[in-house]
Structure formats: C-alpha cells, structure tokens
C-alpha cells in the first residue's frame, strides 16, 4: 500500500484558492479597469509618435501607493514591444536597480538578448553600446524608471537622466523617451542640466474611490477563489479596510492570509475568525 505523505495531505486540503498567486504582491492582472483615462493618455502619445517611428514625449506618472501606475506602464510597454518591432520598451524597477550601472545593464539586456556577457564592461562601456546599438539599428528606446526616487544617489539619478535625455545631442539618430514613475515630487531632485531637457507630460493617478476598490477586490476574488469561498459581507469588510488604509494591496493581502488560515483548517469558506 502506498503511504500518504504530508505533501498529499496538503494537496487535499486546498479548499479556498483557485489560484493563490492572484493575491500576491508580484501578481500583475491581465486586464484592469478604472485607469482608462491614464492609459489612453499614455497610449495616445505612443501611437501618435511611434506610428511615424518618432520619439514619444517624455512622461511623468505620478500618484499615491497602489494606484495602478506600475500595472499600467507594464501593460503598455508589453503592448508596445509586441506591436512595434523597432521599439524596445524597458521597465526598470529602481527599488531593485538602484545604481546607474544596474539601470544601464537592464537596458543593455533588453537590446542585446542572448549576448549578455558584460563582464569587464564599465558603466560607460555599457552606455556607449546602448547608444550605438539604438542609433545603428534605428531603434526607438522607451525607458520606464519605476520608483525613480529609490535610485541610490542624486548623482546616479542625474547621470542616468542626463546621459539618456541628451544622447541625441551627440548622435542625431538616437531616439529615447523616458517615463518616470513615482509617488513623490521628484523634479525637485533634478539638476538644471536635466530639467532643461526633461519636460514631461504629467499623468496623474488619483486614489481609487470606494466603489473602484470594491470592484477590483471583488473581481480578484471571483478569479482567484472557488465559488462560495467568501461571502459578500466579508468582502465588504475588506473593501472598507483597504479604503481606510488607502491601499488596495493591504486588502488583497488580507484576503490571502485569511484564505490560508481557512485552508489550513480545512474549511471551505473564509469566515470572520480567519482574519
């Protein structure tokens, strides 16, 4: 007789989640609502310029925590890469890529897929190769610097912006558009040299209303939980909590934890006591 292992028992007690990943902070939903005007503003800039293979205008995406900035730009960059073969759109998380070297490296990896041995290359070498590649191949480069306030020093921040924004001054063929993403006013940190060439279109991401938070959380429950695994009344409490915290992530995390507790108990429903 085959003996059951602890792993088999864990499999059998999965009663709540269709897909746990939908509730983690890394999860990027495939579709999203309530950000149409921001999405359209960015798309208009891209379509209008990229259809003629011109550099789009620089953009600055601003708004509080969890207002869909990263979600929106990642979706749009994904589409731009798919639609325009001569466009390379690179989304860079500055929380994990804090130095100018790391930022250039992420761009380099996008442009030189398959040939990414960078050992021995200095920051300058990497930048130089990026610029030459986009000029020779007539590529339009879009760079999103997400959480740009996390770049480790003002020097690194200004170096990156200066070098990317002014590269066309040494080679007219270079086309680079910068998208900053932030929840603070960062223009203040930019040197005069940067400010004079960075005149972005600002796209504001306002906080979600109570109803919008409700619809996002409800939809996530619908996608990620089995039918009947959570009652409307409980969802309503979570929506209220997320709204009061001003952070949709907190609401999703709360459902995740309660779901794990319910599942651990072998319960088929998330109840108040699981929070």
Q: Is 206 left (phi over 0), alpha (psi -120 to 50) or beta?
A: beta
CB-nearer residue toward ligand ATP: 147 or 159: 147
Residue with tokens 């990026």: 130
Among the listed ranges 28-36, 75-83, 158-166, 194-202, the one in contact with ligand ATP (CB under 6 A) is 28-36
In angstroms, the Cα distances linking 221 to 23, 244, 264 are 9, 19, 18
Among the listed ranges 6-14, 61-69, 85-93, 187-195, the one in contact with ligand ATP (CB under 6 A) is 61-69
Asked if 35 contacts 240 with a C-beta cutoff of 8 angstroms, the reply is: no
Which of 29, 47, 70, 121 is in the footprint of Mg ion by CB under 5 A?
70
For 266, the 3-state DSSP assignment is coil
Among the listed ranges 126-134, 169-177, 236-244, 248-256, the one in contact with ligand ATP (CB under 6 A) is 248-256
CA trace torsion 62, 212, 245, 94 (10° rounding): -30
Please give the angle made by the CA atoms of 78, 82 and 83, to the nearest 5 degrees.
115
Give 21's Cβ-side CA count (13 Å radius): 5
Which of 20, 32, 81, 206 is in the footprint of ligand ATP by CB under 6 A?
32
Which of 183, 250, 261, 267 is in the footprint of ligand ATP by CB under 6 A?
183
Which of 39, 69, 75, 91 is in the footprint of ligand ATP by CB under 6 A?
69
Contact status: 216 vs ligand ATP (CB under 6 A): yes
Q: Which stretches of the chain bind Mg ion, using CB under 5 A?
A: 70
Q: Which stretches of the chain bind ligand ATP, using CB under 6 A?
A: 27, 29, 32-35, 63, 65-71, 147, 183, 205, 216, 248-249, 252
């Amino acid at each position: 007789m085959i003996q059951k292992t602890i792993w088999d028992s864990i499999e059998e007690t999965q009663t709540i989640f269709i897909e746990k990943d939908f509730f983690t902070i890394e999860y990027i939903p495939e579709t999203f609502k309530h950000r149409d005007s921001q999405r359209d503003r960015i798309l208009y800039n891209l379509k209008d310029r990229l259809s003629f293979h011109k550099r789009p205008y620089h953009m600055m995406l601003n708004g509080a925590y969890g207002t869909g900035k990263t979600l929106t730009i990642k979706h749009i960059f994904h589409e731009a890469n798919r639609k325009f073969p001569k466009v390379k759109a690179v989304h860079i998380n500055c929380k994990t890529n804090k130095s100018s070297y790391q930022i250039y490296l992420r761009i380099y990896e996008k442009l030189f897929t398959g040939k990414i041995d960078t050992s021995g290359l200095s920051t300058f070498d990497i930048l130089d190769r990026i610029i030459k590649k986009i000029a020779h191949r007539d590529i339009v480069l879009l760079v999103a610097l997400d959480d740009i306030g996390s770049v480790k020093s003002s020097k690194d921040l200004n170096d990156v912006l200066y070098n990317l924004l002014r590269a066309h001054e040494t080679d007219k063929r270079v086309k680079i558009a910068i998208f900053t993403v932030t929840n603070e006013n960062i223009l203040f940190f930019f040197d005069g040299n940067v400010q004079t060439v960075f005149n972005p279109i600002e796209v504001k991401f306002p906080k979600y209303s109570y109803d919008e938070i409700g619809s996002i959380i409800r939809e996530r429950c619908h996608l990620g939980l089995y039918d009947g695994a959570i009652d409307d009344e409980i969802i309503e409490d979570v929506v209220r909590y997320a709204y009061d915290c001003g952070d949709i992530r907190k609401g999703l995390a709360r459902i995740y934890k309660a779901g794990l507790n319910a599942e651990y108990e072998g319960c088929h429903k998330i109840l108040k006591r699981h929070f």
